[in-house]
Amino acid sequence: MPQTDPSYARLPARFFARVAPVAVADPQLLALNLPLAEALGIDPVWLAGAEGVSMLAGNTLPGWATPIAQAYAGHQFGSFVPQLGDGRALLLAEILAPGGGRFDLVLKGSGQTPFSRRGDGRAWLGPVLREYLVSEAMAALGVPTTRALAAVATGEVVWREEGALPGAILARVAASHIRVGTFEYFAARRDTKALALLAEHTRARHFPLADGALGLLASAVAAQARLVSDWMSFGFIHGVMNTDNMAVSGETIDYGPCAFIDAYHPDRVFSSIDRHGRYAYAQQPNVALWNLAQLASALLPLIGEGEAGVEAASAALDGFWPALSAAWSARFAAKIGLASARTGDHALIETLLARMARQGSDFTRVFHGLADGSARDEFADRAAFDAWAVDWHARLSHEQDPQAVMRAANPARIPRNHRIAEVIAAAVTGEMAPFARLHAALSVPYEERPEWADLSDAPAADEAVTRTYCGT
């Protein structure tokens, strides 16, 4: 039995709704993250057994669960929605891990709640396996993220635009599920008491060294700047950076229409609903800052009313670009073999990216191929790469061990869209072996292994997945 402490469920009743999961017909375990279970202090044998699976399906809960649906608001594509909330998810427990740390255990797809609006409260197998694979890949890459503990098939059908689909539930683990939109929820209601409680809860939980609401804001700004730099350094596009999908902790959350870029272009968009490119690859820093400005304005009553409050909040937001620039430069410098970035390196990196964009080179293959000389093969016009490589080699001559730096920064494998699509198509027919293979390969993304060579390939023209869906 894990050690638990329901600190969020102890907040006032208006923070959430107490609601139990809705039982499902025939739960079947699809995937289980044993190392994560152990790290949480959950007995893996129990979790894989009848009682554990019953909990993961939401059919019966152990005594230590205190299920709640959290209230939050959010700006969706720029428009404010004063009430969203967990419409198909429940926070089961906060687990105190034996090795330290507090983690939310959430079921996603566990049935309707008072926040479901017109939704059925469910998820289908595709997005559940997608989130499992991509969030675990992100963790293996070293990017702050929610984790996947388990995926369970419900034995029920879910109706979506595509028709009848197999239902599933994801068990997700996170530092917390406190979003920018959680603050907006109380700010919109002018509930300053609740805001103060939420700010203190969040500060103490994620940024214990921060001073008050202003310190919380500054810390959240720094954490998001680092996170977005991490995303960009792996070619990751979140796809739906609404304020309700931004965790204040600085973890990646809500893997909906996300995608890793294959053919690089800064304006790349995958999400079917992002018609104007609001959440395009290179827009992500701007959007993160826009979201943080919503957090700042929600926190204003705590930071201070009037001119002084606005100035203090603005100064905290001003920390974003320097933090982003430093993190971005460090990440991309390492990708081209530089132990640290110097003046001029930024331009060197930008030149490479511009040439990749012009030729639609594969993002992951170019960077991974810098260490072994195969990068130039990713350029239809090799001369464009060679010209850049002259400056690059000149710069590398000042470095100690650029090969090692590059190998640690550039994965051989990322979760490619067409591979995820294959895995889901197989899983729908009951075949989980492709999932297991892809999951295993993504758990050691920096290791080159001949048996997984196909997973490093860029999609052929007829394989490429160019659109991704929210999957609600």
Q: Which residues are identified as catalytic?
A: 244
In whole angstroms, the minimum distance from the beta carbon of 93 to Mg ion comes to 20
Residue whose C-alpha is closest to residue 334's, from 219, 232, 225: 232
* Of the residues 110, 229, 245, 249, which one makes contact with ligand AMP according to CB under 6 A: 245
- Of 2 and 250, which CB lies nearer to ligand AMP in the complex structure? 250
If binding is defined by CB under 6 A, does position 177 make contact with ligand AMP? Answer: no
* Of the residues 256, 309, 415, 445, which one makes contact with ligand AMP according to CB under 6 A: 256
If binding is defined by CB under 6 A, does position 22 make contact with ligand AMP? Answer: no
- Of 115 and 183, which CB lies nearer to ligand AMP in the complex structure? 115
| Strand ranges (E), 136-268 | 147-160, 163-174, 236-237, 259-260
In whole angstroms, the minimum distance from the beta carbon of 79 to ligand AMP comes to 13
In whole angstroms, the minimum distance from the beta carbon of 111 to ligand AMP comes to 9
Q: Which does 110 bind (CB under 5 to 8 A by kind): Mg ion, ligand AMP, none?
A: none
Separation between Cα atoms, residue 26 and residue 143, nearest integer Å: 35
In whole angstroms, the minimum distance from the beta carbon of 84 to Mg ion comes to 7
In whole angstroms, the minimum distance from the beta carbon of 112 to ligand AMP comes to 7
If binding is defined by CB under 6 A, does position 472 make contact with ligand AMP? Answer: yes
Residue whose C-alpha is closest to residue 174's, from 272, 93, 81, 266: 93
Separation between Cα atoms, residue 102 and residue 10, nearest integer Å: 15
- Binders of ligand AMP among residues 102 to 131 (CB under 6 A) are 115-116, 119-122
Using CB atoms within 10 Å of the CB of residue 439, give its burial: 0 to 12 exposed, 13 to 18 middle, 19+ buried. buried
Residue whose C-alpha is closest to residue 119's, from 149, 86, 148, 93: 86
List, as one string, the DSSP characters of 239-259: S---GGG-BTTS-B---SS-E
Q: Which does 319 bind (CB under 5 to 8 A by kind): ligand AMP, Mg ion, none?
A: none
**Residue 152, CA distances (Å) to 32, 62, 333 in order:** 9, 17, 41
If binding is defined by CB under 6 A, does position 432 make contact with ligand AMP? Answer: no
Stretch that binds ligand AMP, among 46-54, 81-89, 228-236, 385-393 (CB under 6 A): 81-89
| 222 DSSP 8-state letter | H
In whole angstroms, the minimum distance from the beta carbon of 166 to ligand AMP comes to 15
If binding is defined by CB under 6 A, does position 85 make contact with ligand AMP? Answer: yes
Q: Which does 84 bind (CB under 5 to 8 A by kind): ligand AMP, Mg ion, none?
A: ligand AMP
Residue whose C-alpha is closest to residue 68's, from 4, 14, 125: 14
- Of 140 and 280, which CB lies nearer to ligand AMP in the complex structure? 280
- Residues in contact with ligand AMP, counted by CB under 6 A, come to a total of 17
Q: Which residues are at the interface with Mg ion (CB under 5 A)?
A: 245, 254
Contacts 24+ apart (CB under 8 A), 321-330: 321/225, 321/289, 323/221, 323/222, 323/225, 323/226, 324/225, 324/228, 324/229, 324/285, 324/288, 327/225, 327/226, 327/229, 327/230, 328/229, 328/232, 328/233, 330/229
List residues binding ligand AMP (CB under 6 A).
84-88, 115-116, 119-122, 244-245, 254, 256, 470, 472
